[in-house]
């Protein structure tokens, strides 16, 4: 088990041992899910948005330690950012914030980027639907 963690730096280990913002969110404004079919890692990202700014983020992840750490780091990165700012966060930016990822774990930051995009897409879809239903009144 010790050899398993040797490939991870202290940032990844810290987020793995003490993940931030883990858990399901009640009444999220957007939910995004991303999966890696090759390894089975799955990340579900929940966002709460006010005036196009992400005020809260939570995650549920099934996967390896790097996937859990990527999820944790991602929630910290997107909190307080506008929707547009969050969409500019790439997998490379996430990996850099984690202090780098072993080559075999780079897919974890890609998973996080895709989850951000999916959560924002869901938020926008719900917002548009809500606005359209108000216009019908």
Percent of the chain whose predicted confidence (pLDDT) is above 90? 81
CATH number at residue 105: 3.90.1010.10
Indicate whether 13 belongs to any domain. yes
Q: For all residues of the chain together, what is the average pLDDT?
A: 92
Residue 39, domain extent: 2-131
* DSSP string covering the chain: -HHHHHTS-HHHHHHHHS-SSBS--SS-SEEEEEE-TTT--EEEEEEEEETTEEEEEEEEEES-HHHHHHHHHHHHHHTT-BHHHHHT--HHHHHHHTT---GGGTHHHHHHHHHHHHHHHHHHHHHHHHHHHHHT-
Indicate whether 104 belongs to any domain. yes
Find the catalytic residue in 16, 108, 115, 118.
108
pLDDT of residue 131: 85
Query: pTM of the entire structure?
Result: 0.91
User: Predicted confidence band at 2 (pLDDT cuts at 50, 70, 90)?
Assistant: very low
Q: Total structural domains in the chain? A: 1
User: Predicted confidence band at 3 (pLDDT cuts at 50, 70, 90)?
Assistant: very low
Indicate whether 102 belongs to any domain. yes
Residue 39 a catalytic site member: yes
Find the catalytic residue in 7, 11, 22, 39.
39
């Amino acid at each position: 088990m010790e050899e398993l963690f040797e490939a991870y730096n202290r940032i990844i280990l810290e987020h793995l041992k003490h993940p931030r913002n883990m858990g399901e969110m009640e009444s999220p404004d957007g939910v995004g899910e991303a999966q890696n079919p090759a390894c089975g890692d799955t990340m579900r990202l929940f966002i709460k948005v006010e005036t196009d700014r992400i005020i809260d983020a939570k995650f549920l992840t099934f996967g390896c330690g790097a996937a859990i750490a990527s999820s944790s780091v991602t929630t910290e990165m997107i909190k307080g950012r506008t929707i547009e700012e969050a969409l500019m966060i790439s997998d490379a930016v996430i990996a850099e914030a984690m202090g780098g990822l072993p080559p075999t774990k780079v897919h974890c930051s890609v998973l996080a980027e895709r989850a951000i995009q999916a959560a924002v897409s869901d938020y926008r879809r719900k917002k548009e639907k809500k606005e359209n239903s108000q216009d019908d009144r």
